[in-house]
């Protein structure tokens, strides 16, 4: 290890020397052309000279940055990481505005609500998910391809032709046959556009906008899913509405996955977008690492509304309705 560190130090010293040499050469060229740093490029009338000056200034700035970075790296190798601590990068996630509806890890009120909500029977393993899937009237080919992909991911998902039945009639029919959820996919311009998910028998009903759909064949180096109940990963469903949506989506999948299939469904919530991914994993190097292969489909959901009870556009009570003004501040 000491020899490796010495080699790294020598390499860094060589790189620093090379940069300083180039810097000196560039400085002599600037002196010949009488390019002064005090001169503002915008005030030069000659377009060609102005362009050359801007390029030289950018090169000089990048060299100074790389030289500073290499010197910092050299100090860390010689004296350790504590000698020169690294700064924290500011991202949208780190600068996130505090949300009052954010749920703590152990919230007694939330735990009490979970014991009496519409999904408690599922999480207590008293019911098994059984889902009916329908479309709008006269659907196009693109919708069928998307539904075919969903059937490979979600177990116990059954498709029925819509014909001329109303949604309320379909929901009542599904209740009488012990279905736990109704999934309705609407299209726009031949592609899936809206997903309505209604939990039976008492709701709630969520409406999502579907975007960025990529089916199995469109993914690079994709695999093919096998008939096995997948594992489920839910990320960042931390607010009250997010927690409720997370439980609703989790209720679509069996509570006990088949680990032999090594298939995982990930639902990642970020900036109010839910990213859906389906992978197969394989352990390598005695279980220390895992390789991933995407199986598809891949798509994004955006919550438009959350309604109490089953589908009712006239008299339904809404818990949440999306407003375009909500997305103005990206840090919220």
Provide DSSP, 132-160. Answer: EEEESSS--HHHHHHHHHHHHHSTTEEE-
pLDDT of 40 over the 50 cut: yes
Report d(CA 187, CA 136) in Å as an integer: 7
Report d(CA 73, CA 9) in Å as an integer: 9
Report d(CA 311, CA 329) in Å as an integer: 31
pLDDT band, very low/low/confident/very high, at 2 (cuts 50, 70, 90) = low
Which of 12-21, 58-67, 138-147, 244-253 shows the highest mean pLDDT? 244-253
- The mean-pLDDT minimum among 4-13, 198-207, 209-218 falls in 4-13
Q: Tens digit of pLDDT for each residue in 155-170?
A: 999 999 999 999 999 9
pLDDT band, very low/low/confident/very high, at 34 (cuts 50, 70, 90) = very low
- The mean-pLDDT minimum among 55-59, 95-99, 207-211 falls in 95-99
| Average pLDDT for 175-186 | 96
Count of CB atoms within 10 A of residue 276's CB? 20
Helix or strand run (H / E) with residue 112: helix 108-116
Alpha-carbon dihedral sign for residues 201, 174, 150, 123: positive
High-pLDDT (> 70) share of the chain, %: 91
Instruction: Report the predicted TM-score, pTM, of the whole model to 2 decimal places.
Output: 0.76
128's tokens: 């098994």
Report d(CA 18, CA 7) in Å as an integer: 17
Report d(CA 323, CA 332) in Å as an integer: 13
User: In the prediction, which pLDDT does 248 show?
Assistant: 96
pLDDT band, very low/low/confident/very high, at 26 (cuts 50, 70, 90) = low
CA distances from 228 to 33, 93, 155, 243, 262 (A): 71, 35, 8, 26, 9
């Amino acid at each position: 290890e000491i020899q490796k560190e010495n080699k790294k130090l020598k390499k860094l010293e060589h790189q620093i020397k090379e940069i300083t040499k180039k810097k000196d050469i560039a400085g002599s060229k600037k002196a010949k052309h009488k390019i002064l740093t005090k001169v503002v490029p915008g005030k030069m009338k000659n377009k060609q000279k102005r362009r050359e000056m801007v390029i030289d200034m950018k090169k000089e700035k990048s060299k100074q940055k790389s030289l500073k970075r290499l010197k910092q790296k050299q100090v860390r190798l010689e004296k350790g990481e504590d000698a020169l601590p690294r700064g924290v990068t500011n991202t949208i996630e780190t600068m996130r505005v505090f949300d009052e509806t954010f749920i703590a890890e152990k919230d007694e009120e939330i735990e009490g609500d979970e014991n009496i909500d519409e999904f408690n029977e599922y999480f207590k393993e008293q019911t098994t998910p059984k889902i009916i899937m329908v479309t709008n009237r006269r659907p196009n080919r693109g919708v069928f391809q998307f539904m075919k992909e969903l059937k490979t991911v979600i177990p116990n998902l059954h498709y029925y032709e819509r014909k001329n039945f109303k949604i309320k009639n379909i929901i009542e029919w599904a209740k009488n046959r012990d279905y736990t959820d109704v999934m309705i996919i609407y299209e726009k311009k031949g592609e899936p556009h809206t997903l309505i998910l209604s939990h039976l028998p008492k709701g709630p009903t969520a409406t999502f906008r579907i975007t960025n759909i990529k089916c199995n064949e469109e993914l690079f180096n994709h695999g093919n899913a096998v008939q096995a109940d997948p594992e489920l990963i839910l990320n960042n469903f931390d607010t009250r509405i997010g927690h409720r949506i997370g439980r609703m989506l989790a209720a679509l999948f069996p509570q006990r996955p088949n680990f032999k299939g090594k298939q995982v469904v990930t639902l990642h919530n970020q900036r109010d977008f839910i990213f859906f991914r389906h992978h197969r994993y394989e352990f390598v190097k005695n279980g220390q690492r895992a390789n991933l292969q995407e199986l598809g489909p891949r798509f994004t959901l955006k919550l438009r509304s959350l309604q109490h009870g089953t589908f009712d556009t006239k008299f339904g009570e809404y818990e949440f309705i999306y407003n375009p003004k909500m997305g103005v501040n990206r840090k919220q």
